[in-house]
């Protein structure tokens, strides 16, 4: 039986932490969809198309990951993709509270899917897209947190 998973998020921008989570998920599941949220109620720095392109670039070496976008409930996307696993990354205890609540709601909306939580590697556990954007906007070096093409895209958004 082939098991498909979905790793949803805004990925604005995709970081090494995201790449770590989805790459590890790709070793567990036959296929993983990295699903980029089109409208997550946030003002994103990058357009949906830019975030998709950056994710595809950052994940180009992993064969069983497909990048897609979505503009509806994660559970509806999971159902459409026949994904039985929803992957969520957890960096700290504060993440767990929110993710635990979402997992419960997702289970009510799509009982056939299970949510699993993966923790990024220790050296990546403090990275967030929000911090990467903020540091970059203030002229800081985020090269150790993102793929080189993501860095170039950030440099275009925040010229030094």
Residues 37/70, Cβ–Cβ less than 8 Å: yes
Distance CA 152, CA 104 (A): 38
Active-site entry in 42, 123, 148, 157: 42
Catalytic residue flag (residue 61) = no
Distance CA 148, CA 76 (A): 33
Catalytic residue flag (residue 79) = no
Catalytic residue flag (residue 129) = yes
Active-site entry in 24, 31, 91, 119: 91
Active-site entry in 16, 26, 51, 129: 129
Q: Which helix (H) or strand (E) holds 120?
A: none
Packing angle of the helix pair 48-58, 148-157 (nearest 10 deg): 150
User: Which residues make Cβ contacts (< 8 Å) with residue 55, sequence separation at least 6?
Assistant: 11, 14, 18, 34, 36, 67
Catalytic residue flag (residue 18) = yes
User: Which residues are designated catalytic?
Assistant: 18, 42, 91, 129
């Amino acid at each position: 039986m082939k098991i498909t998973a979905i790793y949803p998020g805004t990925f604005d921008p995709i970081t090494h932490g995201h790449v770590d989570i989805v790459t590890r998920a790709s070793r567990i599941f036959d296929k993983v969809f990295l699903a980029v949220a089109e409208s997550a109620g946030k003002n994103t720095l990058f357009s949906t198309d830019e975030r998709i392109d950056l994710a595809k670039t950052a994940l180009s070496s992993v064969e069983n990951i497909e990048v897609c976008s979505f503009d509806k409930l994660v559970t509806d996307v999971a159902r459409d993709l026949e994904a039985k696993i929803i992957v969520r990354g957890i960096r700290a205890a504060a993440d767990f509270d929110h993710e635990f609540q979402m997992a419960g709601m997702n289970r009510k909306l799509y009982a056939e899917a299970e949510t699993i939580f993966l923790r990024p590697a220790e050296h990546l556990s403090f990275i967030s897209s929000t911090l990467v954007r903020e540091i970059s906007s203030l002229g800081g070096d985020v090269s150790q947190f993102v793929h080189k093409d993501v860095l170039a895209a950030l440099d275009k958004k925040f010229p030094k």
